[in-house]
Amino acid sequence: MTLEADDTITLTGLRARGFHGVLPEERRLGQEFVVDVTLFLDTAPAAAGDDLAKTADYGELAVRLAAVVAGEPVDLIETLAARLADVCFQISPLVEAARVSVHKPAAPIPVPFDDVVVTITRSRP
């Protein structure tokens, strides 16, 4: 599958508070994480029949992604990104691949910076 040739559904800027990180204060205080997700799937059947059941419900996706961010803490945002990718495949059997970016704009870095982002791309297992 070539990701460039597929239709996409993209959700950007999803915000949720999580307690991820390796430092004790990150686990105790938490911080806002921002998630961007692109789903790769064929949207033609949904468009042809105007049928939500033939695509991925991005409203449900947003709620489920936010629950993962707010849920069980992990040390690494790489691990968080992998968990979020799993949700993308659970949302619809039509999703062929997913690209997930996890932003950690308040990462504990002692020098000025704008953002830390981990981006992963996964194909359906």
**How many C-beta atoms surround the C-beta of residue 47 within 10 A?**
12
Report, as residue numbers or ranges, the catalytic residues.
104
- Token pair 């996706």 is found at 61
Both structure tokens of 31:
């911080």
Rg (CA), the chain: 16
AA letter at 71: G
Where does 50-124 have alpha helices with state H? 58-70, 77-91
Is 75 strand, coil or helix?
coil
Is 122 strand, coil or helix?
strand
